Amino acid sequence: MAREVSESCIDSLLTEMVSSYCNRFDANKPELAGRRIEAIGYQVGHQLAERYTMERPRFSDHLEAIKFICKDFWSEVFKKQIDNLKTNHRGTFVLQDNKFRWLARMSVDPSIENVDLSQDTSALAENKATQAMGMHLYFPCGIIRGALSNLGIPCAVSADISNLPACSFVVRIKA
């Protein structure tokens, strides 16, 4: 029943999706592109949650659901678990993946890289790079949000890539 897809296909699919949204469909309005990508992720997460929660008892509280995301869900999607989960016990969870698969093999646009002569340009290049990264992170954020909301937990998910390839997702549950 379970059909497998080669990982490289998925990677290139994602890259293509991001690039086509950022550069073709919604070229000049990145926030809209982001929302669209996030929306696709949302649907995927929504459906994956449906599938991966089969055969398991219902979650009694938010924490259980989050844990499910960290353990089973993550290892289904990324073949590894979330490395570190933090929470303030008031509806905010931080899921940290020390080697996020979809960023692991990602390199910054060379045209950006070789201009870092002076400080400001390198800084500029830096945030350009992070912007590009951010575009690639809308999709996983959407996945998490979709999965959680399908489990009855409406939330907002944002990603933070302060130190690559580690990546931490911040889940804020809407009260």
Partner 1 sequence: MANYLAQFQTIKNYCDQIVIAVEDVSDLWPNIKDRFEEQLPFKRACLNNKTRNLVFVDNLPAEFILTTDARLRSRFPQEQSLFWFREPYATVVLVTCEDLEEFKTILKPRLRLIVQNDEREWFIVFVSRAHPSNDNATKMAKKVYAKLEAEFSSKKRERCCKFDIHGPEANFWEDLESKIMECVKNTLDRRVQFYEDEIRKLSEQRFMPVWNFCNFFVLKESLAFMFEMAHLHEDALREYDELELCYLETVNTGGKQREFGGLDSGDDQAALLNIGNKPLTQIVQDDSFREFEFRQYLFACQSKLLFKLNRPFEVVSRGYPFVISFSKALILHESTLPFCLREVWVISACLALINATSSHYNDGLVASDIEKEFYRLQGDLYSLCRVKFMRLAYLIGYGMDIERSPVNSASLSMLPWPKPAVWPSLPADASSQVLDKEKVILQATPRSKHFGIQRKSLPLEPSVLLREANRRRASLSAGNMFEMFDSRPSLIDGSTPDASPSTSPLQKAKTFSMPRTNSSPGNFDGSMDRPMRLAEIYVAAEHALKRTISNADLWKSLSSLEEFEQKYLELTKGAADNYHHSWWKRHGVVLDGEIAAVCFRHGNFDLAAKSYEKVCALYAGEGWQELLADVLPNLAECQKMLNDQAGYLSSCVRLLSLDKGLFSTKERQAFQAEVVRLAHSEMKDPVPLDVSSLITFSGNLGPPLELCDGDPGTLSVTVWSGFPDDITLDSLSLTLMATFNADEGAKALRSSTATVLKPGRNTITLALPPQKPGSYVLGVLTGQIGQLRFRSHSFSKGGPADSDDFMSYEKPTRPILKVFKPRPLVDLTAAVSSALLINETQWVGIIVRPIDYSLKGAVLHIDTGPGLKIEESHVIEMESCANVSQSAADISNVNGTQKDCTLAANKEPEQLSLDDGRIEFSDWASDVNSVLWIPVLAISDTLPKGSSSVNPQKQSIVDGMRTIALKLEFGASHNQIFEKTIAVHFTDPFHVSTRVADKCNDGTLLLQVILHSQVKASLTIYDAWLELQDGFVHTGKGNGRPTSSFFPLVISPTSKAGILFSICLGKMIGEDELEARKPETESILNIRYGISGERTIGAHPPVAVESVRPEVAGQDLIFKSALVLQRPVLDPCLAVGFLPLPSTGLRVGQLVTMKWRIERLKGFGDDEISEQSGEVLYEVSANSENWMIAGRKRGHVSLSTNQGSRIVISILCVPLVAGYVRPPRLGLPNVDESNISNNPPGPHLVCVMPPVLSSSFCIPA
Partner 2 sequence: MIACVAVIGHQNNPLYIQSFTEADDALKLHHIVHCSLDVVEERVNNPKKSGPTLNETFLGLLYPTENYKVYGYLTNTKVKFILVTTDLDVRDADVRNFFRRFHAAYVDAVSNPFHVPGKKITSKTFAERVSNIVKSFGLSSAG
Q: Is 106 helix (H, G, I), strand (E, B) or coil?
A: coil
Residue 30 touching partner 1 (CB under 8 A): no
- Least distance from C-beta 121 to partner 2, angstroms? 42
Residue 54 touching partner 2 (CB under 8 A): yes
* Burial group, residue 20, by CB count within 10 angstroms (0-12, 13-18, 19+): middle
Residues 136-155 that bind partner 2 (CB under 8 A): 150-152
Binding-site string for partner 2 from residue 55 to residue 94, where x marks contact by CB under 8 A and - marks none = xxxxxx----------------------------------
- On whether the CB atoms of residues 135 and 37 are closer than 8 A, the answer is yes
Instruction: For partner 2, give the closer residue by CB, 62 or 167.
Output: 62
Count of Cβ atoms closer than 10 Å to residue 61 Cβ: 9
* Tokens coding 144: 């998490």
Residue 39 touching partner 1 (CB under 8 A): yes
Segment interacting with partner 1, rule: CB under 8 A, options 31-39, 108-116, 120-128, 130-138: 31-39
- Least distance from C-beta 99 to partner 2, angstroms? 28
**Selected binder of partner 2 within 12, 19, 23, 43 (CB under 8 A):** 43
**Selected binder of partner 1 within 14, 17, 22, 38 (CB under 8 A):** 38
Backbone angles phi, psi at 125, to 5 degrees: -55, -40
Strand order in the sheet with 92-97: 84-87, 92-97, 167-173, 155-160
Residue 50 touching partner 2 (CB under 8 A): yes
Cα 140 to Cα 169: distance, rounded to the nearest angstrom: 9
Residue 19 touching partner 1 (CB under 8 A): no
Cα 135 to Cα 70: distance, rounded to the nearest angstrom: 22
* β-bridge partners, 38: none
* Footprint on this chain of partner 2 (rule: CB under 8 A): 1, 43, 46-47, 49-51, 53-60, 150-152
